[in-house]
Amino acid sequence: MFKSITTLVTTLTLLVTASNAAAQCPLPDNLDGGPCCAPTQVQLPAFPAFKQNSLDICWQDCGVDAVLGVRARWGKPTNTNGSCDALVSKLRILDAGGLLAWRGNMKLNYSRTWFEVGSGNSNYQVWRFLANGDLRHTSTAGPAPCPVPSCAAAHGRRVRFTGYVDWALDCATGQWSNAWMLNHGCDLVDHAPGFPRGGPFHPDRAYTFVGPAAGFAVSPMVPGEGGGGPFEAVRKIRMTTAAGAIGPAVCEFEERVQHSMQPIAQYCVCAGSANNPPQWQENDLFIGGNCGTTIFTGGVPGLLPGYLSMGIGTWTDPTKYPGPEAVRWNIGEYTVIDGCTNLTQQEVYLGATTLGGFPAHAIDSTGIATPLPPIFVDQANALDRAGAILMNVPYYSSRIVNLNH
């Protein structure tokens, strides 16, 4: 699937301190405005570690089963193999008594950046990363099936989580804020048969970590996606494979897109009955890129009905990042026609949707640009070392999808 790379791999351009980043805010990421299928070098600041009071949510039959307070410690993201856009952060989650409950390394694929007009004098530049990785629980984490997923015992206490992390920089003060969400879905989406860790473990249950805890209202019934327009882009990541291992990657310029996302139905994916909360939304999705890339639901019957998203809840504090913003976890299986290679294949994408928050604007090479619609959909494809669809376990990504409507 992947092209071989004969050019030298460029590495992330990192600014050394937060004050330097603030002085240059807004900082374009150097991904827009280039020719189709051409490589570029990503420009990002250095992101700090952070600690945050967060929530551990157990879902059953698409309703809230339990909500526990935890303390999350995200390590400073590092670039370990010269990848153009992928970082790694050590995540530690402590229980209410301060004891280590979960730990693991989360892979962070850079998704995009934008500018937000916050409350008072606060204006933020936000960088979003899509996250995936295994978290391993300790003996103090608690019992199964809540808060520890029932699948953990069969897989060396490891559970695959996916989601996103935002780093938001106050352009005036140089202070950082963060919002994040990681989810492990029920069997239909996170234990699909025919893949590693496939099988019946918790068909009626899902598990979510989310932060910050302050002002967050847990609810399966948050607004859903729906709309379209000329916002935003898809981006390809050229990756090399050698001796069965994924090597350094090269990023390409973003490809501007038009898209349409139409709601089909709302229901409970995770077992239950017709009376359970319709936490999940199924959508029909079509994306057309300026360089010929086409992505759409349907085509070949597959693992998933198309685009699905799961309601998590809403931040309610209008004075602090991320503002009054709802969040959903998402997953989808699409037919993808690559505009550079003309290859057609099925791919599974995972990510997150945020709805609302502070007014947002695009950032391009000239600075702050077009106002953006309030719904942000971010996804990355999930691949194994050979470039084939991968479910249930940590994965590599070769394509990022960013949509607004």
Give pLDDT, residue 235: 97
Give pLDDT, residue 313: 98
Q: Where are the domains of the chain?
A: 13-404
Sign of the C-alpha dihedral computed for residues 340, 341, 343 and 346 taken in this order: negative
Omega within 30 of 0 (cis) for the link into 212: yes
Omega within 30 of 0 (cis) for the link into 301: no
pTM above the 0.85 mark? yes
H or E, element range at 313: strand 307-315
The C-alpha atoms of residue 220 and residue 348 are separated, in whole angstroms, by 23
CB atoms within 10 A of CB 335: 16
Q: What is the largest CA-CA distance in the chain?
A: 57
The C-alpha atoms of residue 65 and residue 92 are separated, in whole angstroms, by 23
Give pLDDT, residue 9: 30
The C-alpha atoms of residue 143 and residue 202 are separated, in whole angstroms, by 14
Give pLDDT, residue 245: 55
Cα–Cα separations (whole angstroms), residue 302 to 74, 185, 387: 35, 18, 17
CB atoms within 10 A of CB 266: 15
Give pLDDT, residue 345: 92
Divide the 405 residues of the chain into consecutive groups of 10 and give the mean pLDDT of each group.
Answer: 30 36 79 95 96 98 97 93 85 97 97 95 96 98 98 98 98 96 97 96 98 98 95 91 63 97 95 84 97 89 89 97 98 96 95 98 93 98 92 96 98
